[in-house]
Amino acid sequence: MNVYEPRKIRNVALVGHSGAGKTTLLEGMLFAAGALTRMGRVEDGNTVSDHDAEEIRRGISVSLSLAPIEWDGVKINVLDTPGYADFIGDLKGALRAADVALFVVSAVDGVEVQTEVAWELAAEAGLPRAIVINKLDRERASFERTLEGLVAAFGTQVAPIQLPIGEEHDFGGIVDLLSRRAYRYGAGAKGEEGDWPEDLAAKAEPYRERLTESVAEADDSLLEKYLEQGELSAEEISQGVRAGLAEAKFTPVLLAAATKPIGADRLSAFIADEFPSPADRPPVVVTTKSGEEQTRPIDPDGPLAALVFKTVSDPYVGRINLFRVFGGKVRPDSTLFNVTRNTEERVGQVFTMRGKDHESVAEVPAGDIGAVAKLSHTVTGDTFGVKSDPATLPGIDLPEPLLAVAIEPRTKGDEDKLSTALHRIQEDDPTLRVERSEETHETVMYGMGEAHIDTMVERMKRKFGVDVVTHPAKVPYKETFNQKVQGFGRHVKQSGGHGQYAVCNIEIEPMPRGSGFEYVDKIFGGSIPNQFIPSVEKGIVKTMAEGVVTSNPMVDIRVTLVDGKFHPVDSSDMAFQIAGSMALRDAASKAGVALLEPIVKVEVLTPESYTGDIIGDFNSKRGRILGMESSGAGRQRIRALVPQAEMTRYAIELRSMTQGRAAFTMTFDHYDEVPQHLAQKIIEEQSRKEKDDS
């Protein structure tokens, strides 16, 4: 593939709700550009961007995919993103690498949840936005209804620059409001240009007027001329579209029926002609070694600054890093300095990717997107720069995964393979987190949702040969005492020869939450020799770690050793350890054990319309509302303390409750006592599980 200067490059993130037709639209664009001889179908599993086995099986995109298109001397790097909420990490990576977000909206289903989520993310990033209304050839498709929904959701900056010729099964072409030309489609991928249909002229003029108004509102000089003269020329409208789009003040709406593919050629032409290039975007901000922020232009001759926004494990090539160059250039057979890791990486071949296919390039200059394989240390979010003057690019703000499942290999001998597989898939997907819980002794995988977890489990089996079993992660309960009590431990055995003899009396009293454990020696008169006093403590601590009533550790108690007996021959360290353990169990049998549960602090950011539902749900989960405050843009931030046991599936529940429009964070806060009726159920359930396991 040829090397292009920044002004001849367009970096476009294809975003929108799952099922809107992003992958098929990209297929149509590739076909119209001559990069494909035949269009693939998602249903047949043979599209360029959905090439992963899991994508083919599910029929949805689960991973970010790159496909460059060469159109009329311009290189269009299209980043096809997953539209499913569980894979939002790849969406954020694509928006970080792109210069424009192109939203694909179904003419049947209209504006859906993930479209709104992606819009907010693109707006936060200050990215220009354009929209394609797709599936206009489907039954129940409506251009006007969809356009009304877009304006209602995103404001009057949204304006069509194309109108459909026909609708539903009769959709056969596009009217261009900029050029006042019509494009009709037959069997080929490119429209046949002609005059406006007479029956559409009357309908088109009001839309062209609306387009002119939207363009004028985005540019002060054009607005002044429009108010004076009442109209703008075609060139001025085109200039206004280009300027308004680049400044994210105007959102053009284009049309398509990707399966035909009607409109794919006009979309590519519009991207090449009107979308901002990397050179039209603001200078990039970098942080120097001293912590100072600097702005740098998109200059191929400047110092290197490139960001890795996606990592892929290829079964044949190994690890592949996709990167966007913001300054300088990356060449093959060179050395790259990874500023984030403070290490050098040896580069072999540099290439671009079209789905799973690789195509070598002579260099990747500023503004372009490329890929490199087999780097030893580089992962998503890392910056390539200059060793003598290291500067870091802003990373990718990834969401925190909060759906936890415990995993273990199906085959006992696969522990090492599991460890390797988990490390590799975390490199592929940084929104996945894996931890070893010291409290429950489980390996816990945190994902964005059930589909995310299922995809990672399937990927481990297919790519790394590790079959794993998943189950809900255990809640790390703890035991304690909530009243003062005495315990008696007597361990006496005479079986001929050396016997065992140890007796101890202890007092146990509760301590404040988080105090841990305190051991007090109050032995007088040598009733227990000094060398055995630590032995009693050792036995108590060991039993506390194992749990007395449940298998959960005991905390927040003070144990005082008050009396005891010993035998000059038969007493031993082990005998007093056993006596200490027995004394603790005796105290538990007298006073009963209180169960403690972790309480988490939860913050939910939600549209105001769901506030009542969320507060009601927290109340049903034994939660305590801490406060609520407005967060702007019609959103509320709700803070609450909730038992962790009630939050195990909250990632799924909140998405269902708010149609995916709310987000939350969750952090551990403290331990608190479980209500007695619930504690009894938990104890009985754990006892039953232990019996079943044995």
CB 577 within 8 A of CB 536: yes
Domain 403-474: what homologous superfamily?
Elongation Factor G (Translational Gtpase), domain 3 (3.30.70.870)
pLDDT in tens, 618-666: 999 999 999 999 877 788 999 999 999 999 999 999 999 998 888 899 9
pLDDT score at 497: 66
58 versus 6: the higher-pLDDT residue is 6
- Segments making up each domain of the chain, as ranges: 6-197+249-280, 296-392, 403-474, 479-592, 595-677
CB 269 within 8 A of CB 72: yes
Is the per-residue pLDDT at 504 higher than 80?
Answer: yes
Select from 165, 179, 103 the least CA-distant residue to 136: 165
pTM for this predicted structure: 0.85
pLDDT in tens, 213-263: 787 877 777 777 777 777 777 778 888 888 889 989 889 999 999 999 999
Is the per-residue pLDDT at 496 higher than 70?
Answer: no
pLDDT in tens, 287-339: 998 889 999 999 999 999 999 999 987 767 788 999 999 999 999 999 999 99
**Counting Cβ atoms within 10 Å, is residue 2 exposed (0-12), middle (13-18) or buried (19+)?**
exposed
Is the per-residue pLDDT at 598 higher than 90?
Answer: yes
pLDDT in tens, 422-478: 988 888 888 999 999 888 889 999 999 898 999 999 988 888 888 999 999 999 999
Q: How confident is the model over 591-604, as a mean pLDDT? A: 93
How far apart, in whole angstroms, are the C-alpha atoms of residue 55 and residue 53? 5
Q: Dihedral of CA 457/460/465/469: which sign?
A: negative
618 versus 48: the higher-pLDDT residue is 618
Q: In one letter, which amino acid is 419?
A: S
Would you tell me which CATH number, out of the four given (3.20.20.105, 3.40.50.300, 3.40.630.10, 3.40.50.970), belongs to the domain 6-197+249-280? Answer: 3.40.50.300
pLDDT score at 623: 95
Domain 296-392: what homologous superfamily?
Translation factors (2.40.30.10)
321 versus 59: the higher-pLDDT residue is 321
Per CATH, 403-474 and 595-677 having the same topology is answered: yes
Q: How confident is the model over 157-182, as a mean pLDDT? A: 90
Residue length of the chain: 694
Lookup result for tokens 């090539």: 317
CB 50 within 8 A of CB 390: no
- Average pLDDT taken over every residue of the chain: 90
Band (179; pLDDT cuts 50, 70, 90): confident
pLDDT score at 154: 92
Distances (CA, A) of 672 to 25, 32, 426, 598: 54, 63, 33, 7
pLDDT score at 509: 95
How far apart, in whole angstroms, are the C-alpha atoms of residue 135 and residue 67? 22
Is the per-residue pLDDT at 186 higher than 60?
Answer: yes
Question: 541 is written with which tokens?
Answer: 């601590």
pLDDT score at 43: 85
pLDDT score at 315: 67
Would you tell me which CATH number, out of the four given (3.30.70.240, 1.10.3720.10, 3.40.50.12780, 3.40.50.300), belongs to the domain 595-677? Answer: 3.30.70.240
Band (1; pLDDT cuts 50, 70, 90): confident
pLDDT in tens, 551-581: 889 999 999 999 999 998 889 999 999 999 9
CB 46 within 8 A of CB 40: yes
High-pLDDT (> 70) share of the chain, %: 99
CB 128 within 8 A of CB 99: yes
Distances (CA, A) of 662 to 20, 638, 651: 21, 11, 10
Is the per-residue pLDDT at 694 higher than 60?
Answer: no
How far apart, in whole angstroms, are the C-alpha atoms of residue 99 and residue 76? 11
**Counting Cβ atoms within 10 Å, is residue 556 exposed (0-12), middle (13-18) or buried (19+)?**
buried
Q: How confident is the model over 119-138, as a mean pLDDT? A: 94
Q: How confident is the model over 122-151, as a mean pLDDT? A: 94
Is the per-residue pLDDT at 94 higher than 80?
Answer: yes
Angle at 121 between CA 115 and CA 126, to 5 degrees: 120
User: 479-592 belongs to which CATH class?
Assistant: alpha beta
Structure-derived torsion over alpha carbons of residues 242, 244, 245, 246, reported in degrees to the nearest 10: 80
High-pLDDT (> 90) share of the chain, %: 64
In the three-class reduction of DSSP (H, G, I as helix; E, B as strand; rest coil), residue 375 is classed as: coil
What is the helix (H) or strand (E) element at residue 173, kind and residue range?
strand 173-176
pLDDT score at 633: 72
Band (104; pLDDT cuts 50, 70, 90): very high
Select from 654, 656, 653, 645 the least CA-distant residue to 681: 645
pLDDT score at 683: 84
Q: Which residues contact 360 (CB under 8 A, 6 or more apart)?
A: 1, 332, 349, 350, 351
Q: Are strands 364-365 and 318-327 parallel, antiparallel or unpaired?
A: unpaired
Is the per-residue pLDDT at 508 higher than 90?
Answer: yes
Omega cis (within 30) before 282: no
